[in-house]
Amino acid sequence: MLGRTLREVSTALKQGQITPTELCRKCLSLIQKTKFLNAYITVSEEVALKQAEESEKRYKKGQSLGDLDGIPIAVKDNFSTSGIETTCASNMLKGYIPPYNATVVQKLLDQGALLMGKTNLDEFAMGSGSTDGVFGPVKNPWSYSKQYREKQQQNPHGESEDSNWLITGGSSGGSAAAVSAFTCFAALGSDTGGSTRNPAAHCGLVGFKPSYGLVSRHGLIPLVNSMDVPGILTRYVDDTAIVLGILAGHDPKDSTTVQDPVKSFVLPNLIDVSKLCIGIPKEYLVPELSSEVRSLWSKAADLFESEGAKVIEVSLPHTCYSIVCYHILCTSEVASNMARFDGLEYGHRCDINVSTEAMYAATRREGFNDVVRGRILSGNFFLLKENYENYFIKAQKVRRLIANDFVNVFNSGVDVLLTPTTLREAVSYLEFIKEDNRTRSAQDDIFTQAVNMAGLPAVNVPMALSSQGLPIGLQFIGRAFCDQQLLSVAKWFEKQVQFPVIQLQQLMDDCSLSLENEKLASVSLKQQ
């Protein structure tokens, strides 16, 4: 049941094959069993069960609210949830209980979805590994999959199995792990530079970043307002389309949502690929790209070509500046967005009370981790009067060049761009933490980040397993507000590649493993 598509489960619920409460309990028990993954910061068991009960009543009366009624979902812990602690994985917001729901959360709840909990992330979503949050790193469920374990046994690394677990990617790693481990059917992530697509690629999921302005950010605790979008993580493209259909549309509480009426996001089962023009940006072929990803990318292009699509090489000449440009714009907005965290109205507050400034400074020192503090300081540096023109304005100009690159390509007749999502499959935690956060982000966001500059929709679709038995995904990038077309192509591709389901039976059955791992996880779990 848990591995089915959203529509299948919805049908099962309607037909009474399973009740929302049963479904909810199954997911809750799985959350318990996979606790060591550290996917959730808060499990909202009571809330979920109560919602399930209400959903059950509706089903009994034959008054289901729609496809999402009774469906377990998870939400990244940087979305505001009324009455449920929202931490951004930061000491700064530990204990903060928002009095309101983010618009996207409200929309899901209005459809009868069951909120299982709030998922882990890098502190304030600043990172690409889901390793830099105050509640510890998220572990990639694939570390424990049959597919990976078998390959590991063939090539022993000498390192102990348990310390050699893989990262999920990030920063929406908790949401990715939650969906990947079958603890929910869909999860909300956020995507500023690839934070939804990157963990989706590492966890073998569909990770969708909608067009900027299509989905409300109200209640999403911002990283970079001009690039953030709520992201959707599911196991299937159709599931994403269903969730998008619910989330999309103008929100009077978010002035950056467009006022045009939204069209349906239902995806056709058959599309005529031969009418498509697929662009392959040559700048995405970089030396650091792993040969496996490279060959899958090439295979995917072949696949489209063999079905009659026009596949052409295109150029996005300013891509190589995207990361630097992002670095400036992101840190600057972070410097600004983080100014509100001072301990006065909400969040952490230090014990110092000699003056307002001293209290603020100590609160901010205690509340933010090194990464956040570092970005605040860099951002403030770029915004100084004497630096503003040279750095911030310069970056905004480069941003236009990057966005124009995409406009030019799409104007030349390209419908969808096909690129890798990540350089390689997921790496182990020990490997990952060798580099500092900024360098890692710079490496990991390279294929995903430019899209946020231009506000375009993009989606990771898992394609195949690597020789290590780990997922590799490719990214499709669409025209602004052509999200439905993009997902239609993604759905077609998904159908062609038949990506294997993660095999976690052993993990789920093996209680000893989860116990053993719980000890490990306890080091990094909540330390309140």
Q: Residue 360 Cβ, how far from other proteins at the closest point, in Å?
A: 5
* Residue 280 host element (H or E): strand 277-281
Query: Could you tell me the two tokens for 415?
Result: 């419908």
Binders in 15-74 for other proteins, by CB under 8 A: none
Q: Residue 270 Cβ, how far from other proteins at the closest point, in Å?
A: 23
Decide if 195 is catalytic.
yes
Q: Which of 183, 378, 485, 517 binds other proteins (CB under 8 A)?
A: 378
Cα dihedral sign for 314, 316, 320, 322?
negative
Rg (CA), the chain: 22
Is 510 in contact with 119 (CB distance < 8 Å)?
A: no
Binders in 443-502 for other proteins, by CB under 8 A: 443, 446, 454-455, 480
Cα distance between residue 387 and residue 389, in whole Å = 6
Stretch that binds other proteins, among 16-24, 238-246, 269-277, 387-395 (CB under 8 A): 387-395
Q: Specify which residues 476 forms β-bridges with.
A: 418, 459
Cβ-based nearer residue to other proteins, 74 or 502: 74
Q: Please tell me whether residue 100 binds other proteins under the rule CB under 8 A.
A: yes
Query: Quick one: DSSP state of residue 67?
Result: T
Query: Could you tell me the two tokens for 53?
Result: 């009960």
Binders in 140-159 for other proteins, by CB under 8 A: none
Q: Please tell me whether residue 77 binds other proteins under the rule CB under 8 A.
A: no
Binders in 108-137 for other proteins, by CB under 8 A: none
Query: Could you tell me the two tokens for 434?
Result: 């060798």
List Cβ neighbours of 377 (8 Å cut-off, separation of 6 or more): 335
Q: Please tell me whether residue 290 binds other proteins under the rule CB under 8 A.
A: no
Q: Pick the closest to residue 371 from 176, 131, 135 (CA basis).
A: 131
Stretch that binds other proteins, among 54-62, 80-88, 134-142, 176-184 (CB under 8 A): 80-88
Please name the residue that has the structure tokens 């979902």.
Answer: 73
Cβ-based nearer residue to other proteins, 82 or 164: 82
Count of residues interacting with other proteins (CB under 8 A)? 122
Cβ-based nearer residue to other proteins, 46 or 345: 345
Identify whether 306 is preceded by a cis peptide bond (ω within 30 of 0): no
Catalytic residue among 35, 44, 55, 76: 76
Decide if 29 is catalytic.
no
Cα dihedral sign for 369, 337, 250, 445?
negative
Q: Please tell me whether residue 369 binds other proteins under the rule CB under 8 A.
A: no
Q: Residue 118 Cβ, how far from other proteins at the closest point, in Å?
A: 13
Cβ-based nearer residue to other proteins, 34 or 171: 171
Query: Could you tell me the two tokens for 346?
Result: 């909400």
Cα distance between residue 492 and residue 241, in whole Å = 13
Q: Residue 73 Cβ, how far from other proteins at the closest point, in Å?
A: 18
Cβ-based nearer residue to other proteins, 266 or 393: 393
Query: Quick one: DSSP state of residue 478?
Result: E
Cα dihedral sign for 288, 292, 295, 297?
negative
Cβ-based nearer residue to other proteins, 12 or 258: 258
Q: Which of 343, 420, 471, 473 binds other proteins (CB under 8 A)?
A: 343
Identify whether 216 is preceded by a cis peptide bond (ω within 30 of 0): no
Cβ-based nearer residue to other proteins, 395 or 426: 395
Q: Which of 438, 503, 518, 520 binds other proteins (CB under 8 A)?
A: 438
Catalytic residue among 175, 195, 441, 524: 195
Q: Phi/psi at 482 (nearest 5 deg)?
A: -105, 45
Q: Please tell me whether residue 212 binds other proteins under the rule CB under 8 A.
A: yes
Reduce the DSSP state of residue 188 to 3 states and report it.
Answer: strand
Q: Which of 70, 117, 136, 219 binds other proteins (CB under 8 A)?
A: 219
Q: Which of 60, 397, 495, 526 binds other proteins (CB under 8 A)?
A: 397
**CA distances for 6 relative to 68, 199, 247, 491, angstroms:** 8, 20, 16, 14
Cβ-based nearer residue to other proteins, 331 or 460: 331
Q: Which of 359, 417, 461, 477 binds other proteins (CB under 8 A)?
A: 359
Alpha helices of 2-121 — where are they, by DSSP H? 6-14, 20-33, 45-61, 103-110
CA angle 71, 76, 80 (to 5 degrees): 95
Q: Which of 370, 431, 509, 516 binds other proteins (CB under 8 A)?
A: 370
Binders in 162-191 for other proteins, by CB under 8 A: none
Q: Please tell me whether residue 250 binds other proteins under the rule CB under 8 A.
A: yes
Catalytic residue among 171, 216, 514, 524: 171
List Cβ neighbours of 68 (8 Å cut-off, separation of 6 or more): 6, 10, 108, 111, 112, 113, 242, 243, 246
Q: Which of 75, 102, 296, 486 binds other proteins (CB under 8 A)?
A: 102
Decide if 171 is catalytic.
yes
Binders in 305-324 for other proteins, by CB under 8 A: 305, 311, 313, 318-324
Cα distance between residue 302 and residue 300, in whole Å = 5
Stretch that binds other proteins, among 20-28, 164-172, 255-263, 483-491 (CB under 8 A): 255-263
Cβ-based nearer residue to other proteins, 224 or 416: 224
- Active site positions, annotated: 76, 171, 195
